[in-house]
Amino acid sequence: MGTSGGARVSLQRDAILWSDGTGAKYVIGGIQGKYDAYGGAPRLGFPVTDEVAVAGGARSTFTGGLVFWSGATVAHVVIGAILARYDQLGGPSSYIGFPTSDEFGVSGGAQTNFSNGRYIVWRPSTAAVVH
């Protein structure tokens, strides 16, 4: 089945996604569900890695961002400057933990919430700041 410049083979709860630029990658369970719910290839692009384990969960890297999953937080998308700051901190193994929300708009910027009661806010005037 075609999907925005690539192909998809759907399995029971998983999918194999392919594009010229990324090749074929396996997207599993909760991450695959979030990818579809978030808008799939038109919003997140194609996977550039298969799903990989991280401490306490999993992640998949897409051309437009990452999707993180843990049993406690389910799957959430992290993108852009907030993703760059999250990576600098060490991702899910950092003191802020797994994302508990997708990015959402706040006054003059964007925010993503994390499992250890922290959140990252991005605004053009301050870049991405942990609170």
pTM for the model stands at 0.89
In this prediction, residue 1 carries a pLDDT of: 40
Mean pLDDT over 19-43 rounds to 93
Domain boundaries, the chain: 6-130
The total of other beta-carbon atoms located within 10 Å of residue 4's CB is 13
Mean pLDDT over 77-88 rounds to 97
Mean pLDDT over 19-46 rounds to 93
The residue assigned the tokens 């569900």 is 33
In this prediction, residue 2 carries a pLDDT of: 44
pLDDT band for position 6 (cuts 50, 70, 90): confident
